[in-house]
Structure 1
Amino acid sequence: MGDDRLRWVPLPPARLRTTRARDGRIDFDRAVSPGPAVPAARITMPSNKVPERNIAVPLHSSLLPLLPLPLPLPFSGAMAILLQSPYFRLFGILPPITFFATRRVEGSSAERKSASSTSVNATRWS
């Protein structure tokens, strides 16, 4: 039927230890073979020092996403005038609102994540 065979063998001289569980099953413990020996190794952990950065890089990278924010404003103004509905002005206001809300949520989650990882690392390696 398959590649497996079932073979009956005599019991070893030291009998298997069996216990009856509350649900009626019989639990047994087989002899455990020892695991392979793990060689000792010395490792060096990386330091937690933050490398110093140039002040212009964070300033440039933080201002770059702000450039496209005012682009929807003239289009939403034109739509509000042409279609005679002031609700189209909301399309111009929505991108900045979602941008700043997303930055706030991501910043607070990043702060929580970094605070929890530093506390975990401090307890783990102390």
Structure 2
Amino acid sequence: MGGLTSEQFMKNPLNEPVLKYLKGSEERKALEAELDILSQNVVQVPLVIGGNKLFRKENSRKQIMPFNHSNTIANFNYATAEDIEEAIKCGMGAREAWERKSLKFVFLINLILCLNVWGGYMVALLGF
């Protein structure tokens, strides 16, 4: 059986609902509640190269809330030149294997990754 073609995939694309986030609306309340939760925790964002998570203090930076500069929401690392070289090597090594995958497989993997990362937010904000 062949893989999913872009023509089949794009026949009936669906967009997310357009929400206005008006004061007092359910989507606004859900967004503000989620922002309250996020503002109470500082997330440690690793540098990930070849599946290895790297946490370093020497190149650490803080991500502040754009609307509340006194609140740090994440700590992350800048990559060094060596990190970038290693990431390029890892990416080139994975390229050949990914080029052989069908569009359907790649789409499903990306869908799973998106749901794992954004699933909770989609439920909270969009009711999915």
TM over 0.5: no
Larger strand share, 1 or 2: 2
Q: TM-score, normalised by structure 1?
A: 0.25
Larger radius of gyration: 1
**TM value normalised by structure 2:** 0.25
Higher RCO (CA 8 Å, separation ≥ 6 residues) = 2
